[in-house]
Chains A and B, each alone.
Chain A
Amino acid sequence: MRRFAQLFAAIDETMRTNEKVDAMVDYFRSVDPADAAWAVWFLSGGRPKRLIPVRRLAGWAMEESDVPDWLFAECYDAVGDLAEAMALLLPDAESSADIPLHRWITERLLPLANKSEEEQRASVVQSWRELGGTERFLWNKLITGGLRVGVSQQLVVRALSRATGVDEGVIAHRLSGTWLPRAESFTALMAEETSDADVSRPYPFFLAYALEGEVDALGDATAWQAEWKWDGIRAQVIRRNGQTFIWSRGEELVTDRFPEIAAAADFLPDGTVIDGEIMPWKDGKPLAFAQLQRRIGRKSLGGAILTEVPVVLIAYDLLETAGRDIREEPLARRREMLVAVVAEARSTAFVPSPVVSMDAWDDARAAHAGARDRCAEGLMLKRRDSTYGVGRRKGGWWKWKVQPFVIDAVMIYAQAGHGRRASLHTDYTFAVWDDGVLVPFAKAYSGLTDAEIQELDRWIRANTVEKYGPVRHVKPVHVFELGFEGIQPSPRHKSGVAVRFPRILRWRTDKSPEEADTLATLRGMMT
């Protein structure tokens, strides 16, 4: 546990990405694979189920630290984090045996599930006596199921890759899907030989950067394939060993949510993986994203909603065929195979992504201008010779959205509005990432529905980190898609840029703050 606490502290104590990666590399190289497996799981956002109600846990902490509940509440308020407040209040540790992380999990944490309340109490109190400082804080985070470590999945993958020399793409692939924190899994993760047999495992999604500047800069238009950029749910449909799996980009298994597609996938040949976009689609045309949201919101899918909002998979790409990973093949070749595979399934649930015919960039511009009319967000431009990469890479693929400038930013400050909105927090300050730090760059007031404003206002009140006069500094949690009309360099602003008419386009509840854009992207928009 001590080594894991050191890793946590090292990551927590620096804003520099490289140092976070260094700390992880060092850890992965030096610890028992059983420990490393759990660390990977936690760093990737894995959470153990909460085994003890928080209230009960807090009660034990109060008794152990001899603090009445009102004082406990004051402390909690001052700290802002229950696990930390308990760790700080409890008496200093008595013993300091260093038990490895995996044993804490398997011998102490998980068995809590099958214990009586009295046994749970004895076990937890004992652990508090054994652990001090950061270790105790982390332990409390584990018990409450709230451990968060400030690294993105991409950084974990990078660190694992550096620790072993195994390619980042291979690591990412091995980690995707359901990855269990066991020593064998970690050893397999680090193994040079690829013999991954997990039939359900998707490939990491290849993502495009937003096109910045003029499309002509991409060179010869005929070297590119243009497709509509759809606003649905990016997904991979996998058919292997006679089974079907549908994974969303958030790496959730959503097979049951889209029975039309799952049924159609049964007719795909074994060893097929298609990347596409799940779109609400009726009479050969897309429906609005809001319709799809209606459907996503349902717990069970009745016949009515399936009739009202049928979905299809707009097939973008073929990643695997006849059990062979073809991501390194050029796009033009993959496209041919994709069309053939989809035709073979003979289902209306698969629609090969329409290619916009284009001889020159003017054709693309004309199509781009009309994208909204087709319910598309813009165009995707993919080099015909591009491979299917891992994560977000520059060069081969670009997304060319309709709005001149769109960016995903994190809300960091909020302030009450005026007039009708006087009691509501409606003025927001947004930030983008710059070397691990969120830099504010724009304020926006409009773009949300009244219901969203109400919801956000409640969240802001409950998640204020600090108040400076009327301004509330909130936890950097919520990501919003902002649109704006122009961007200029500005020495007066911390970010170095000033944007014109910023507004909220969408509350990206599907994105985590780590996925927000960077200042470099923002600066890159200035031409």
Chain B
Amino acid sequence: MTLLRLAERGLYCEAGDFYIDPWLPVERAVITHGHGDHARWGSDRYLSSREGEAVLRTRLGASATIRPVDWGDPVDVNGVRVSLHPAGHILGSAQVRVERHGEVWVASGDYKLEPDPTCTPFELVRCHTFITESTFGLPIYRWTPDREVFAAIRAWWRQNLEHGRASVIFGYALGKAQRLLAGLADADIGPVYTHGAVERLNRDYRRGGVRLAATQYASAMPRGHSFAGGLIVAPPSAAGSTWMRRFGTISTAFASGWMRVRGARRRRAVDRGFVLSDHVDWPSILTTIEGTGAERVWATHGTREPLVRWLTERGIEAKVVASQWKGEEDTDPVEVAGEEITA
């Protein structure tokens, strides 16, 4: 019997009788981070990092039973030693270290190595078995330093300012949006407006001590307010919605690791793509796996097969584990023309 295994409701530890990021309601859930595919509603009790508690509560509601723990503090769950370690993905994101009889497993959740101001940086944890995400598990994915990306975002904003346009940048409401706002906190940039979904989470970040650029809630602006020269941070789902009309002439951009590939940007139909990811790139996945010293690797979500094959060819026991986690998806619901059109 392995310490962790994939069960119907999620990644399960039988010895401790708890789940990690279950997709169906369970008694005891250990949560890596607050993204929707990892933090599902309906479980009896949740264990979360203290850093991630506020975000998780925003997600799950006031009635959820959440026990916060500090980084590295071990918790005994039915004789299994469980501790949370920073994953560097979003505020409060954790890797879950599980230990029993000297055997150590680590489930990464989603992670990245490059430090950013919105969360505690990734901590490398030695383990026997490493359960890794592989959202960007192909060698075409290599990130550029944040400094360069933010310089490009500023240049784009400035160009739009000169043309009297508003700059609308799309990024996931939890995590990416705040990383953008933190990265632009000291930038000489026009008024920054946010979508409601983003603003709600900004509160949690600010309370958590993360310095974000000053923001105004776009919908609270008076009728006829000019957004020209402003920067609007919105979730991708806002693209093409009627909410966008208020901004007048705009240039659009999408901040995501997927923007590394030209076709992905073109499919999004945005003017600009900024390669800014909260996930590990290919070289970092390999560095991390090597650093953990793991003999066994499970790839849970993303481009899993190539990673597994790569590792197997290098003598590491690796396999694909079909979790229901999604990481960051290239295609969120896209309007299908067939439904739109009737002859």
Contact = CB atoms under 8 A, between A and B. Distances in A.
Interface of A: 12-15, 65, 67-68, 70-71, 74-75, 78-81, 84-85, 88-89, 92, 137, 412-413, 415, 427, 429, 437, 440-444, 465-466, 468-469, 471, 473, 492-494, 498-502
Which of the listed residues B262, B271, B334 has the most CB atoms from chain A within 10 Å of its own CB? B262
A427 B271 CA distance: 30
A475 to B, nearest CB: 10
Given A13-B272, A71-B310, A78 B140 contact: yes
Interface stretch (B63-71, B90-98, B168-176, B335-343): B335-343
B261 A84 contact: yes
Given A70-B306, A442-B343, 19 more contacts: A13-B271, A14-B271, A67-B139, A71-B138, A71-B139, A71-B306, A71-B310, A79-B261, A80-B263, A88-B140, A413-B337, A440-B341, A466-B331, A469-B336, A492-B342, A493-B342, A494-B340, A498-B343, A502-B343
Interface residues of B, number: 27
B303 interface: yes
A75 B341 contact: no
Contacts of A441: 341
A75 B138 contact: yes
B260 interface: yes
B223 interface: no
Nearest to A468: B336
Top 9 A-B residue pairs of the complex, sorted by shortest distance between their CB atoms: A88-B140, A440-B337, A429-B337, A74-B306, A468-B336, A75-B140, A413-B337, A80-B263, A471-B336
Nearest to B335: A494
Contacts of B309: 70-71
Interface of B: 138-140, 142, 260-263, 267, 269, 271-272, 303, 305-306, 309-310, 313, 331, 334, 336-338, 340-343
Contacts of A15: 269, 271
B263 A79 contact: yes
Which of the listed residues B261, B331, B334 has the most CB atoms from chain A within 10 Å of its own CB? B261
B166 to A, nearest CB: 15
25 contacts: A13-B272, A14-B271, A15-B269, A15-B271, A67-B139, A70-B309, A71-B138, A71-B310, A74-B138, A80-B261, A81-B262, A85-B140, A427-B338, A429-B338, A429-B341, A440-B337, A442-B341, A443-B338, A443-B342, A444-B343, A465-B263, A466-B331, A468-B334, A493-B340, A493-B342
A500 B338 contact: no
A427 B260 CA distance: 33
Contacts of B139: 65, 67, 71, 75, 89
Contacts of B260: 88
Contacts of A469: 336
A471 B337 contact: yes
Contacts of A501: 343
Contacts of B313: 68
A425 to B, nearest CB: 12
A81 B263 contact: yes
A437 B305 CA distance: 36
A443 B341 contact: yes
